[in-house]
Structure 1
Amino acid sequence: MLRSAPDYAGLVAGFAWDIPERFNIGVDVCDRWALRAPDRVAIQELVGARVSDVTFGHLKDRSDRLAAGLRARGVVPGDRVGVLLPQSAAVVIAHAAAYKLGAIALPLAGLFGPDALRYRLADAGARVLITDAAGLSKIEALRADLPDLDLVVCVDGARGEALGCDALLAEAPGGFVPVDTRADDPALMIYTSGTTGPAKGALHAHRVLLGHLPGFCMMHDFPPQAGDRMWTPSDWAWAGGLLNATLPSLHFGVPVLACPNFRFEPEAAFRLIAERAITLAFLPPTALRMLRGVADPRGRFDLSRLRNIASAGEALGPETFDWGRRELGLTIGEAYGQTECNLVLAACRAAGVARAGSTGRPVPGHRVAILRPDGSEAAADEPGEIAVARPDPVMFLRYWNQPEATAKKFFGDWMLTGDTARRDADGYVHFVGREDDLITSAAYRIGPTEIEDCLGAHPAVALAAAVGKPDPLRTEIVKAYVVLRPGYEASDALAAEIQAFVRTRLSAHEYPRAIAFRDHLPMTTTGKIIRRQLRDEG
């Protein structure tokens, strides 16, 4: 575990990896606490106005019986177990059961449509799917396309060919003993978000949880502390929701608030944080930019228990960073990683590692560099590609059934991210953008994040995306797609006002020379803007 220190040098000096040869995620986040303190609260489920406490003892009992029931049905180590459920204790139970079986958990987002579900379940060769009635309604029409899917378990009871979860647990033999897995054994497969192409299954080992703990401690201000309670609106099927928030919180015995029916609205989010006494929140940048539209949040909501907000998924931007300090009195703990190798850069208020416009510094235990195309390390403030050295406990094992794509991901022992950044003279990493998202205009290489963050500071702008539009003179110009806040109407005058706003705050080469107003923007299930779709339209 990474221990708190007053500065970055202290964090690095006091850290060393301690990865045991044998390790199992399910035993760690469930059984370890259940044997020590079975009545300790693990999950708080909020449905309507009712909160139900779910203990570690309950999680162990249910996950043991689910694992035993699946084993009796022929599930063996290495089998893929799909989990298509909203935030709930059932998600943790399903994951823990899969891990303790030595199977591979395959998280699936509730927002996935039939094509996305068919592709992932078929590509993974999933043998089992654990879902609810809503998920079952999507899957029933796909069964003919999923020959490997032998068993569907519904937590809402038996329906059609699906077996009821309670019935499976009732028939399960007792005395389940978890598989004694190695830390390097496969445990979890998360598909990439598909922002730049078809999604790929990133296969992770059990050690991935331990690999996340240093970054989790940095970005969340060193939990656990007395009274800590975690909440994220992110789907627990996303690497951010699962590995930046839920599983590490359970490792540390921190209760996690599950809100299966929560629809993210800025005022509702602040109200939930206040009423549920949330101390730790993990919020993606898109959610934070939406929260910026709420006036005087500390005056209207009791946020006195909220001690830290962390964010990852896209660059935060200096405007949102400054808003957090000004309006919330908090230094937002930004972090960086990919589905393949997550939480390798982070900011940390307690250690004084925070700077507007920066993603932070390498998390102790991870070697991160900014590389030139030839593989040499870039000089200070020279843009290059973010790369992570292997071996690394948080790094994926391989892409599922894609050995060529796996090989292309590496340059020697460097895992290449495809993301462009620069490291300043003090060691802070400043994210520029994905190589595919960079805009080339009049010899300038422009990242979209800073433009989008600046656009979001305009009072009329609820959400924005910046992409390159082909231009015969400049190669590309910056085009912005803007979603307006309620009370504002699209007009040429407003477009000109927004353009002038960005030009005066940034520079003449960065301001959007074209603006298109939209009702919504194309988003992945993880809250990232799909800029390639906008480029194709533009």
Structure 2
Amino acid sequence: MFSLFDQGRHAPAPSSFNMAAYVLAHADELSDKTALAVMSVDEADLWSYGRLKSAILRTGTGLLQAGLEPGDRVLMRIGNAVEFPIAYLGAIAVGLVPVPTSSQLTEPEVAKMIAELSPSAILRDPDISCPVTPEIPQMTIQALEGMRDLPPAEFHMGDPERTGYIIYTSGTSGVPRAVCHAHRAIWARQMMHQGWSGLQDSDRLMHAGAFNWTYTLGTGLMDPWSMGATALIPAKDVNIASLPHLLKTHQVTIFAAAPGVYRKMLSDHPDIHLPDLRHGLSAGEKLSEAIQDDWFEATGTSLFEAYGMSECSTFISASPSSPAHPGTFGKPQNGRRIALVDENGAPVHLGEEGTIAIDKSDPGMMLGYWNAAEDTASRFIGDWFLTGDRGTMNADFYIHYSGRADDMMNAGGYRVSPIEVEAALSRFPDIQSVGVTDVEIKQDVRVIAAFYTSDEPLDETALSDYAEQTLARYKQPRLLQRLDALPTNPNGKLSRRALRQHFEAHR
């Protein structure tokens, strides 16, 4: 038996298609229903489906009247504000290609994107860093708001294979890349509704992230709107400590967040009573079993993890109908074709470690990296897109994650996953977060190092004893170091590369 999941393909998108039209397909029949609530601690800004669709299509008109044409790229430098999804869908509705970016990017980082993409316009919040671009028009939030007085545009329908939007990778592989996605990418998310979120039109889904994070855009907004459900997003002045209050007050039925948010909530509120919550969703980084267990004990609800990447969103997951097996993060979603492959692209035997790969014809698969045909081709072998992540598959198709190929550590000739070591150490009392990597202590000598955060310095002898009790000798950290915070990239993911750089700079 080989590590191959292939149980039939998902139906293709219609031949005449527009991503924004698909997302807003229920807006007319649900005109008065709340599509979006932007929640402060004491109040909420409510957007009905009718108001939302009107703002999106009128913004599309304004963008066209500004001289933009279908196919033009539009760089988005907007912060955590409702103008972000409105402008994003407004651009897609009229055939433009928006490029959402993290508000945490610095001006030099944005300058590189501008040079690479040559956008026709920049949608700009003055408080968000962006170079001055005399040759490229910049439209302010105030200008975007003024477009809502214009007549609504018509949806620009066309081939579902045409470029719909561009997003940047998180840079985990070294250099952020511009990933081009087709309009059909939203169609593929139907498999996530069934295989991960269990989303229904009656749900009230709250995402803890900012509007301008792609995890929020997809799971927190596009998914509930395409189902006719209600999306809830905390306002930019809301902190994590207030999230349990919002979850309860707004009768949230599904909560989505990164593992770090769950960890912090549990630290601040060990007993969280949420009578309306059905379950939680987690993505963005590996979810530890400790957080899952603690969340269930505190709330009585389960967390379902999803694995994916910028090039194909999430395609392996646990769900209410298919909870994960212990030690796995779930199984391929129905409609996907997934394998664990060797260096030649051939599926390995069940139980053997291989590279997680997804069929290149998957409807959620990227069109390619912008102006980088060679880099794009390097990610494929035969029929497979190589994720760069390692794992093993069991007989029921559930997948155990071993970590990124470039994050895998080598200790005394043994290949060790940092994920496994982090999962073990995260259960040690009073550790808040932990990041593990291998570091060079002298030429050609590398050891495993664990960096952790905690309120007070820990007894590292006790921590070493704990590691000795829970991990094989070759997996045990030889160095332990307490940090004020673990380094992350602009998307909030742990950067093990930065951990190594920190060690080299301070040794």
Q: What TM-score does the superposition give when structure 1 sets the normalisation length? A: 0.87
| Contact map agreement 2:210 2:236 (CA 8 A) in 1 | no
Match of residue 4 from structure 1 = none
Q: Residue in 1 aligned with 2:132?
A: 143
1:286 alignment partner in structure 2:
260
Aligned twin of 1:503: 468
Q: CA deviation at 1:423?
A: 1.1
Rate the CA distance shift 1:166–1:283 in 2: closer, same or farther, 3 A: closer
Residue of structure 2 in register with 1:246 after alignment: 221
Q: Distance in 2 between matches of 1:253 and 1:66?
A: 21
Q: Residue deviations 1:225-259, cap 9 Å, x none?
A: 53x21112223433322223321111011111122
Q: Which residue of 2 aligns with 1:197?
A: 174
Q: Partner of 1:230 in structure 2?
A: 205
The separation in 2 between residues aligned to 1:395 and 1:116, in whole angstroms, is 26
Code of the residue aligned with 2:118 in structure 1: it is G
Aligned-partner Cα distance in 2 for 1:48–1:154: 28
1:425 paired with 2:399, answer no
Judge conservation of contact 1:340–1:396 (CA < 8 Å) in 2.
Answer: yes
Match of 1:467 in 2: 437
**Separation in 2 of the partners of 1:97 and 1:356?**
43
Runs of 4+ with deviation above 6 angstroms: 11-15
- For the 8 Å contact 1:286–1:527, the answer to whether it is kept is no
User: 2:383 and 2:170 mapped to 1: Cα distance?
Assistant: 24
- Equivalent residue letter for 2:212: A
Structure 1 SS opposite 2:225: helix
Q: Is 2:490 the partner of 1:525?
A: yes
Partner of 1:161: none
Aligned 1:275-424 pairs, distance under 5 A: 275-294=249-268, 296-298=270-272, 302-350=273-321, 352-424=322-394
Judging changes above 3 Å, is the alpha-carbon distance between structure 1 residues 448 and 288 closer, same or farther for their aligned structure 2 residues?
Answer: farther
Q: Once the two structures are superposed, what CA deviation does each residue of 1:402-421 show, in whole Å capped at 9, x if it has no partner?
A: 11111111112210111111
Give the Cα separation in 1 of the matches to 2:80 and 2:250: 16
State how far apart, in whole Å, the 1-side matches of 2:237 and 2:367 are. 34
Give, in whole Å, the separation in 2 of the partners of 1:118 and 1:233.
29
Aligned residues: 499
What is the aligned-residue identity percentage? Answer: 25
Task: Give the drift of 1:263.
Answer: 5.2
1:128: which partner in 2? Answer: 121
Q: Given residue 75 of structure 2, which amino acid in structure 1 is its aligned partner?
A: G
Identify the range of structure 1 (94-103 vs 456-465) with the bigger mean alpha-carbon deviation: 456-465
1:140-198 CA distance string (max 9 Å, x none): xx124x74x22x2222x3xxxxxx2233444x4x3522211221111111100012211
The letter of the residue matching 1:249 is: P
Q: Answer yes or no: is 1:102 the counterpart of 2:95.
A: yes
Q: Distance in 1 between matches of 2:114 and 2:212?
A: 14
1:165 lines up with 2:135 in the alignment: no
Check the 8 A contact 2:201/2:227 in 1, yes or no: no
Tell me how far apart the structure 1 counterparts of residues 104 and 253 of structure 2 sit (CA, whole Å): 27
> Contact 1:441/1:474 (CA < 8 Å) preserved in 2?
no
Which residue among 146, 151, 156 is the counterpart of 1:179? 156
SS in 2 for 1:415: strand
Q: Tell me if the contact between 1:270 and 1:297 (Cα under 8 Å) persists in the aligned partners.
A: no
Q: Is 1:269 matched up with 2:255?
A: no
Question: Aligned pair 1:153/2:139, yes or no?
Answer: yes
Given that 1:441 and 1:509 are in contact with CA atoms closer than 8 Å, whether structure 2 keeps it comes out as yes
| Alpha-carbon distance in 1 for matches of 2:201, 2:146 | 39
The corresponding residue for 1:514 is 479
Q: How far did 1:86 drift?
A: 3.5
Matching residue of 1:24: 18
Mapped to 2, the partners of 1:341 and 1:35 lie a distance apart of: 30
Q: 1:245 to 1:48 in 2, by over 3 A?
A: closer
Match for residue 80 of structure 1 among 73, 78, 86: 73
**By how many angstroms is 1:264 displaced?**
4.5
1:197 maps to a residue whose letter is G
Task: Read off the aligned partner of 2:493 and give its amino acid letter.
Answer: K
Per-residue Cα deviation, 1:403-451 (whole angstroms, up to 9, x for no partner) = 1111111112210111111112332111111111111112221111122
Residues 43 and 255 of structure 1 are in contact (CA less than 8 Å); yes or no, is this contact kept in structure 2? yes
Q: Which amino acid aligns with 1:287?
A: V
Check 1:272–1:457 CA distance in 2 against 1; reply closer, same or farther (3 A cut).
farther
What letter corresponds to residue 450 of structure 1 in structure 2? E
Does the 8 A contact of 2:7 with 2:337 survive in 1?
Answer: no
Amino acid across the alignment from 1:258: I
Residue 48 of structure 1, CA deviation: 4.8
Q: What amino acid maps onto 1:522 in structure 2?
A: P
Task: Give 5+ residue unaligned stretches, structure 2.
Answer: none
**Structure 2: distance between partners of 1:212 and 1:183:** 14
Alpha-carbon contact 1:321-1:356 (below 8 Å) kept: no
Q: Offset at 1:360?
A: 0.7
Q: Pick closer, same or farther for the CA change 1:534–1:498 going to 2, 3 Å.
A: same
| Separation in 2, partners of 1:356, 1:291 | 23
Structure 2 residue 474 is the aligned partner of structure 1 residue 481 = no
For 1:198, the aligned partner's letter is: V
SS at match of 1:53: strand
Rounded Cα–Cα distance in structure 1 between residues aligned with 2:201 and 2:89: 25
Q: Tell me the CA shift for residue 367 of structure 1.
A: 0.8
Instruction: Find the residue that maps to 1:91 and give its secondary structure.
Output: helix
Q: Residue 475 of structure 1: CA displacement? A: 4.7
Offset at residue 18 of structure 1 (A): 4.2
Change (3 A) 1:426 1:28: closer
1:467 Cα deviation after fit = 0.5
Q: Match for residue 7 of structure 1?
A: none
